[in-house]
Amino acid sequence: MSSKKTYSGGEPAAKKSKTGYGTQKVWLDVDTGVDDAQAILMVLAQDNTQLLGISCVAGNSGVDQVCLNTLRVLRVAGRLDVSDTDSLI
């Protein structure tokens, strides 16, 4: 019997660090209004979280406005490196 812990993907679970678990990889699916803007900023503020990308969907606004809102949040956070236009649309 193996001593490695796994999750549903069959890969080893993250190793624990001094501050908790290792880096958490996150992909956000947003319809960026106030709540999602706050969620994006919270994820970006975490040292142990890697934001892989953001998907924008219509919801609070049409998808074009959602993409603009998301880019504005990323610009305010100084993190335009997170995405490019193609990955947001």
14 lies in a domain?
no
12 lies in a domain?
no
Distance CA 74, CA 28 (A): 13
Per-residue pLDDT, 22: 83
Provide the whole-model pTM.
Answer: 0.69
Number of domains in the chain: 1
pLDDT at 85 over 90: no
64 lies in a domain?
yes
Per-residue pLDDT, 20: 61
pLDDT at 89 over 50: no
Domain interval for residue 80: 27-88
Distance CA 68, CA 82 (A): 14
40 lies in a domain?
yes
The token duo for 85 is 């236009």
Q: Which residue has the higher pLDDT, 58 or 1?
A: 58
DSSP state letter for 68: H
